[in-house]
Structure 1
Amino acid sequence: MRVNSPDSIRFRVNSFFALTKPGIIRTLLITTVPTMFVAEKGTPSLWLIVATMVGGSLAAAGANSFNMVLDVDIDKKMNRTSNRPLVTGAITTKEATVFAFVLEVGAFIWLLGFVNLLSAFLAISATAFYVIVYTMWLKRSSTSNIVIGGAAGAVPVLIGWTAVTGTLGWAPIVLFSVIFFWTPPHFWALAINYRDDYAAAEIPMLPVVTGLKETGRQIVLYSFVLIGFSLLFFFVAGMGIYYLAAAIGLGALFLFFALKVFFDPIEKNALKLFRYSITYIFLLFSSMVLDVLL
C-alpha cells in the first residue's frame, strides 16, 4: 500500500495531524512556557511544564479542528486552504468533529488531573470563544473578527500563569494584552497578501473591506498599543533590564516594519512584517526566561 494512498495509515495520521494546525499550536506554546518561568520567578518543575504543554496542545488542536469543520465551505474557495484535509476529502466531517470533541475532552481531563481546575477551565473557555465567537460569528460578519476573536490566542499565557500559581493577577492580564494587541498586526499583514482569497470567500477581513491604506493605519495604531503593554509588563511583573532592553529594541523594530506597511502597503512589506512578528513574539518571550534566570 502506498504511503500517500488515502487508505494508508500514515496518510490518515498526517491528515488528522494537519487538521490540528500544528504551526499555530507551536506559536501558542512559545508564549505559554516562558510565562510559567515568570510566574515561578525561576524554573518550574519539568513535569508541570510538560503537563501544561500537553494539555494546552490538546485544547488548541481541538479548537483548530473544530475551526476546520466549520470553515470547510470557506476553505474550498481559498487557494491558501484548498489542500486542507476536509476540502480534499481525506477526512470526513463526522470524523473531524469526533476527533475535535475527543481532543477537547482529553485536554480538560488532562489539565484537571495534572495541572489544576482553573487552567482546565481557561483552556476549554478559549476553545468555546474561538469556535463560537470567532469562527461561527465574527469571522463571517465583522472587520473586527481577528481583533476580538484573537483573544482566544492570548489565553495560553493565562493558562501558563495559573498552572504555576493557581491564580490570576495584573501581570498575566497585561501579558494577555500583549498577545491580544500583537494578533491584529500579525494577522492583517498576512491578510494583505491573501486579500483576494478572502474576497473570493466573502470574508470581511480589514484589507478587503477598508483597503490597504486604512489597514496600514490600524496596524501602526495596534503596534503602538502592543509596545505600550510590553513596557507596562516590565513594571507590573517586576522584570529586569534584559527584558526591558528586548521590549524596547524589538518593539522599535516592530514599529519600523509596521510603518513601512503604512507608507507603502505592498505585499512585500506586509510579508516582512508578518515574518518579523513571529520572530518578535519568540524573542520577547525568550527574553523573559533569560531575565528570570540571570
Structure 2
Amino acid sequence: MGQPLVGQISTLAVHQILVGTAIALLALVLLIGAHLRVATPLLIGLAAVFAVEIPIGALNASGAPPAAISTLHFGVAGIAWALLVQILLLTRTAPSEAAAAPGAVRDVLRDYFRVTKPAIMLLLLTTTLGAMLIAGAGWPPLSLILLTLLGGAFASGGASAMNCYIDRDIDVVMSRTRKRPIPTGRLTGDQVFMFALLLSALAVVVLALFVNPLAALLALAGNLFYVLIYTRWLKRSTPQNIVIGGAAGAFPPLVGWAAVTGSLNLTAVLLFAIIYYWTPPHFWSLALLKARDYQRAGVPMLPVTHGDAHTRRMILLYALQLVAITLLLVPAGYVGSIYLVAAIVLGGVFLNYAARMYVEGTSRLAWRLFKYSNYYLAALLLAMVVDRALTR
C-alpha cells in the first residue's frame, strides 16, 4: 500500500517545510516593505542574505554536515531574522501615505492576493494534487505535497499577476475586470510586474531546491507559455487563442506527476490532454456570456469572430473529445472500474449540458455549463484518486 500520507516526518522534511514557510514570509515582507517604500537597503540585504541561506541550509540538512557549515547556517539565519525584525519595525513607523491610512497594509495585501486570481490558482493546484496522489505506488510524503503545492501556488500567482499587468489596457474597458487593482489605481503596473517576477522566481527556487529540477522546468515552461504565447500573443491575435493557449493550464498535472516520479509517462500525457480539451468548453461558455465585453476590448474570442452558433457547435465538439480522452485512462491501465463509472456519469452530464446549449443556445445553459465544468474537473480527479487508493 506504500507509505501513509501522514506519518513520521523526517528532520529533512521538517526543514524543507520551514524553509518553504520562510520563503513565503520573505515574499510577504519584501512586498509590504517595497509597497510602503521604506528600508530599501534592508530589503535588498534581506533578499541577498536569504539567497545565501538557502544553499547553506540545504547542506546543513543533508546528512551530517561539518561543524563549520552548521555554524554558518545559524549565523546567516540570525542575520536574516535581525533584518526581518528591523524591517517590520520600520514598516510600522514609516511616514508614508500607505502606512498612514487605516488598514492600508491589509488592503494592499488583499489587492496583491487578487491579482494572483485565487480561484484559478485553486483549480490548478487541484489538478497538481490529483496528479501527485495517483502518480506513485503509494502516497507521496506530506512534505513533498506541501512544497510542490507551495511552488505551484507561486507559479500560478506569478503567471496570473503578469497577465493582469499585460492586460491592464483591456481590463480598463471590460466590465468584468475593470474593478481589478490596476484599473482602479489601487496598484500600479510596475508594482504588479515586480510582484509577478518575484512569485515566478520563488516558484522556480522552491521546486528546483525542494522538489526536483523537472518539476521546476515544467512550471517555468507553463508560465512562459501562458504569459508570452497566450497572453502576449494569441489572446489578441486569433480566435484560436483558447485552443492553443489552453496548453498552459495543462502543465500543473505534469508538475505534480514529475514531483512524485521525476519523469513523465503516457498517463501524465493523458492528464495533460484532459485539461487541454476541457479548457475550450469551459472558457467559451463564459465567452458566450461576455461577448460584448470582449468585442469592446478588441479581443477576438470565438463568439466575437464567428458568432454564438459556431461557438456552441465547437463547445459540443470539444466536449465529445474531452469525454473520449477521459475514458482512455482505463485501457492505459492506470485506473479501473470505479473511475470508469465516474467518468461515464460525469461525462454524460457534461455532454448533456453541451448538447442542450447547442440546441437551445440560452445564456442560462451557458452559465450552467461554465459552473459545472469546474465541478466536473474536480470530481473527475477525485474519482481517479479514489480508484487508485482502493486498487493499489
Report the TM-score when normalising by structure 2. Answer: 0.73
- The question of 1:145 aligning with 2:241 is answered yes
Question: What's the offset of the Cα at 1:111?
Answer: 0.2
Q: Is 1:131 the counterpart of 2:227 in the alignment? A: yes
| Correspondence for 2:134 among 34, 38, 44 | 38
| Structure 2 counterpart SS, 1:210 | helix
User: CA offsets, 1:126-181, max 9 Å, x none?
Assistant: 11000010001100010000111110100001001000000011110011000000
- Output the amino acid matched with 2:310: E
Aligned counterpart, 1:219: 315
Deviation at 1:233, TM superposition (A): 1.4
Residue 13 (structure 1) aligned with residue 112 (structure 2): no
Give CA deviations for 1:217-269 in whole Å, capped at 9, x if unaligned. 10010001101110001222420111111111100110000011111112111
Alpha-carbon distance between aligned partners in 2 of 1:10 and 1:237, rounded to the nearest angstrom: 49
Q: Contact 2:267/2:334 (CA < 8 Å) preserved in 1?
A: no
Q: Is the 8 A contact 1:42 1:292 kept in 2?
A: no
Deviation of 1:42 after TM superposition, in Å, equals 3.0
Deviations 1:14-46 (A, max 9, x none): 000001000000000111111111111332111
1:185 Cα deviation from its structure 2 partner: 0.1
The answer to whether the aligner puts 1:208 opposite 2:272 as a matched pair is: no
Partners of 1:19 and 1:209 in 2: CA distance:
28
Q: Which amino acid aligns with 2:214?
A: L
8 Å contact from structure 2 (residues 130, 381) kept in 1: yes
1:118 aligned residue (200, 214, 217): 214
Q: Which residue of 2 aligns with 1:28?
A: 124
Identity %: 44
Equivalent residue for 2:367, pick from 245, 261, 271: 271
CA contact (8 A) 1:6 1:90 kept: no
Alignment of 1:148-187 (within 5 A): 148-187=244-283
CA contact (8 A) 2:254 2:272 kept: yes
Q: CA deviation at 1:7?
A: 7.1
Query: What is the RMSD computed on CA atoms of the aligned residues?
Result: 1.5
Instruction: Return the match for 2:290 from 194, 212, 216.
Output: 194
The one-letter amino acid paired with 1:266 is: T
Go from structure 1 to structure 2 and tell me whether the alpha carbon gap of 1:202 and 1:237 turns closer, same or farther (over 3 Å shift): farther
Q: Write the distance in 2 (CA, Å) between the matches of 1:285 and 1:216.
A: 26
Q: What is aligned with 1:61?
A: 157
Larger radius of gyration: 2
- Contact preservation (8 Å) 1:154, 1:180: yes
Q: Distance in 2 between matches of 1:64 and 1:223?
A: 26
Q: Which blocks of at least 5 consecutive residues in structure 2 are unaligned?
A: 1-96
Per-residue CA deviation, residues 267-292 of structure 1 (Å, 9 max, x unaligned), is: 11100100110110010000111111
Q: Aligned partners of 2:278 and 2:359: how far apart in 1?
A: 20
TM-score between the two structures when normalised by the length of structure 1: 0.97
2:341 corresponds, among 245, 268, 276, to 245
Contact 1:69 1:97 (8 Å CA) reproduced: yes
Matches of 2:121 and 2:284, distance apart in 1: 19
Report the count of equivalent residues. 293
Q: Aligned partners of 2:129, 2:293: CA distance in 1, in Å?
A: 34
CA contact (8 A) 1:55 1:108 kept: yes
* Cα pair distance change 1:253/1:275, threshold 3 Å: same
